[in-house]
A and B are shown apart, each in its own frame.
Chain A
Amino acid sequence: MIPLAPFLVVSAALVAIGVFGALTRRSALGILMSIELIINAAALNLVAFSQHIRTSDAESTAGQMFALFAMAIAAAAAAVGLSIVICIYRNSKTVNVDKIDLMRW
């Protein structure tokens, strides 16, 4: 079976890419997508751990359960995020983060 380490590397890579995306995308949607990536990476990490490490039998499904809930929550968060993006679009006709700086200093 594939050992644990590669999975950790993949999820770490995905997190890094996700953070990079969040920092550099100019469109709010781009940032949303990057954040989805991060959450997926975390879920992957959880599942990888739940399969590979010894846990007490009461918590054997803890990892997968957490991943499942994380997905549900991510979906809800995405919905909320997108509705906010739509609001912003309606008000200031752009989703470009550079231009949304009505409030500063």
Chain B
Amino acid sequence: MSTNQAMVEKYRNNFLKEVEANVEEGEWVKMCMQCGVCSGSCPLGKFWDHPPQEIFMMIRAGKRDEVLTSSSMWMCTSCYNCIVRCPRELPITHIMHGLAHYAKRLGLVPQNQPTAKFAQLFWDNLMKKGRVNELKLGMALYFMNGFGEGVKVAMKNQKLGMNMMKTGRMNPMEILGGHAVKDLGGFHKVMKKAQELEDARIAKHGA
């Protein structure tokens, strides 16, 4: 049984409880007073299928799949407008990240959600050497939707790339090795342990 089904089983009709227990800062969702200031404040608001307040209401209404399979949370640019304006001081940005992460964990993210992919690439990239390798990240980004697509994107961004290199703000040599933390072993140990502890806490909640 997939973790997703396991969670469905565990929390039955109460998605709010599930979010409270499993989503980063999820315990805040119940405090929303439904004013809508977050939805109005979001710079990409018009691109959300469900703006933040609606997501909170959907969570209360138990619309589990609609929420977790939505690409809305992935529209968050982390501008923090909603956080500073929320009259109940809900950490909305973090809740959106938390929901996105949870959806990812349960494997419910829509196919080819670009931000979901990029965010994963970013994480994988930084985990390798402890520091981001912009060149590799850029390449990976171009080719995240397959080779053919990638070449197109690469061509489109060729001029940009050239500019960056000309001005010394992109280094072709980064393709080999590139920047890294010196104590890479230690870094990886630390992160491995952190991941273990994270998994343990998740297991406590059933996923």
Partners in one complex: no
A-binding residues in B (CB < 8 A)? none
B-binding residues in A (CB < 8 A)? none
